[in-house]
């Protein structure tokens, strides 16, 4: 069996790559690996999903698998991923399962796992689950009779989650008008409700999920409708979530995009001023724009880079006891309030800063000047040779010397395709493109496709 877990759980075409049989196996193996019991209590699992139609099928398989290893299961229905993580912690559950493919199109689905407390799994636990599936241990030694888990429904999970979000908002949002694009996803009800409860005037769009329209030309990956609605309604800003609402992007009153890097910069400065930015440090990933590092340096804030993926951001946050981190894509993590990226929580904190400062989103976002970025995907015969060849490394070193502190080079082989990705940031787009093309030529020469 190849690598089952990606950067955010198991994901694939529902009923194609991701079958009910696989979902059952993952649930059984996860129960075996994550549940530690001394025999004196029956383990508890929380299971939620986003609205996509295949979630109903996969939920049934996951619930059956967990009950078959002796776990009592509480189904919380359609809720955002961070809501499921929150409820795992609140219920002192042994594990949680979220069925969602996040921002992927409707035919896909995924399985995200949470350990006790609501944290995503480290690589070591994922590897143990994969091994348990490969070894087929889930098919033997299951409980019978009274040892089989029972299944229950939690009807007010959304209410608990919304109250948690509003309580975590640092300032009322009265006087702000916001358009929220819910991506026809898991936050279609709780997102607008939380923003309203916090005081904002809310116009919700793409908030009518039917199981088939999740992320369909809407949400954080398709911002045109949100941009148009913000301008039409004269709103102060727009907020875009993805299918499971662990992301947040924003739109200014004039229709300009504010990405995760800009949101992190706004929140980092606000938290620094409030004395809540631990060690005056922000955690981002290698994909964040160099402009974020330069803006943070000017503000006296240290920036630490993590690998791509919000769980890696979380690992760095926890290791350093830090308070804020995230990704350019809009996954923002605030460990004081959430165990994973939470798009609605991010939106609330962003809007709170507008309310308390009296500034527009455009004014707040201006703290970060994004450097022009050029990305070239070079097709090669061997992606590792293409990235590591001495001539390529020499070209990268020359480029880094040329760019100095006003630019950078990121060279990495694709994890799944015969490609080497060449990304260059520089003070000007012409310079970025010239440097990227020069390195790309060396990559092509080192491993011709």
* Residues in the annotated binding site for Mg(2+): 102, 242, 244, 246
**Residue 153 to residue 131: CA distance in whole angstroms:** 31
437: enclosing H helix or E strand? helix 429-446
Kindly state the DSSP code that residue 14 receives in the 8-state scheme.
B
Edge-to-edge order in the sheet of strand 419-425: 373-379, 419-425, 408-413
Nearest residue to 183 (alpha-carbon basis) of 261, 310, 81? 81
Q: At what angle do helices 343-357 and 81-90 cross, to 10 degrees?
A: 100
**Residue 112 to residue 128: CA distance in whole angstroms:** 15
Which are the contacts of 408, defined by CB distance < 8 A and separation ≥ 6? 290, 400, 424, 425
**SS3 call for 107:** coil
Asked if 102 is an active-site residue, the reply is: yes
**Residue 286 to residue 154: CA distance in whole angstroms:** 39
Q: At what angle do helices 260-274 and 343-357 cross, to 10 degrees?
A: 60
Nearest residue to 292 (alpha-carbon basis) of 328, 256, 318, 321? 328
Catalytic residue among 54, 102, 288, 447: 102
> Residue 109: phi, psi to the nearest 5?
-150, 175
Catalytic residue annotation: 102
């Amino acid at each position: 069996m190849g690598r089952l877990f990606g950067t955010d759980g198991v994901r694939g075409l529902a009923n194609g790559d991701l079958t009910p049989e696989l979902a059952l196996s993952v649930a059984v193996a996860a129960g075996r690996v994550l549940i530690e019991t001394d025999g004196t209590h029956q383990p508890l699992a929380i299971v939620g999903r986003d609205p996509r139609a295949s979630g109903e099928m996969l939920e049934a398989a996951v619930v059956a698998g967990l009950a078959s290893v002796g776990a009592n299961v509480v189904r919380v229905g359609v809720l955002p991923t961070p809501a499921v993580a929150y409820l795992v912690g609140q219920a002192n559950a042994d594990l949680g399962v979220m069925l969602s493919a996040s921002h992927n199109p409707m035919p896909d689905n995924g399985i995200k796992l949470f350990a006790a407390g609501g944290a995503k799994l480290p690589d070591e636990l994922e590897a143990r689950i994969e091994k348990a599936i490969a070894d087929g241990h889930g098919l033997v030694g299951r409980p019978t009779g009274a040892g089989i888990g029972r299944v229950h429904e939690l009807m007010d999970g959304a209410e608990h989650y919304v109250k948690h979000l509003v309580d975590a908002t640092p300032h009322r949002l009265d006087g702000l008008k916001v358009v929220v694009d819910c991506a026809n996803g898991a936050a279609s009800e709780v997102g607008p409700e939380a923003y309203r409860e916090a005081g904002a005037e809310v116009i919700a769009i793409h908030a009518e999920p039917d199981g088939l329209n999740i992320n369909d030309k809407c949400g954080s990956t398709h911002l045109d409708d949100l941009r148009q609605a913000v301008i039409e309604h004269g709103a102060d800003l727009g907020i875009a979530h993805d299918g499971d609402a662990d992301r947040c992007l924003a739109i200014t009153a004039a229709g300009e995009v504010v990405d995760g890097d800009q949101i992190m910069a706004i929140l980092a400065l606000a938290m620094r001023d409030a004395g809540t930015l631990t060690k005056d440090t922000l955690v981002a990933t290698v994909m964040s724009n160099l402009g974020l590092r330069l803006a943070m340096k000017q503000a006296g804030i240290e920036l630490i880079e993590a690998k791509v993926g919000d769980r890696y951001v979380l690992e760095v946050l926890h290791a350093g006891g830090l308070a804020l981190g995230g990704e350019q894509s809009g996954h923002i993590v605030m460990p004081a309030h959430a165990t994973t990226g939470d798009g609605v929580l991010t939106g609330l904190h962003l809007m709170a800063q507008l309310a308390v400062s009296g500034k527009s989103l455009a004014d707040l976002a201006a703290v970060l000047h994004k450097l022009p970025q050029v990305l070239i995907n070079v097709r090669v015969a061997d992606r590792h040779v293409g990235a590591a060849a001495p001539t390529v490394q020499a070209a990268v070193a020359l480029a880094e010397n040329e760019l100095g502190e006003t630019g950078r080079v990121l060279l990495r082989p694709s994890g799944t395709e015969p490609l080497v990705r060449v990304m260059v940031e520089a003070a000007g787009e012409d310079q970025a493109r010239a440097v990227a093309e020069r390195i790309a030529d060396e990559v092509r020469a080192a491993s011709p496709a």
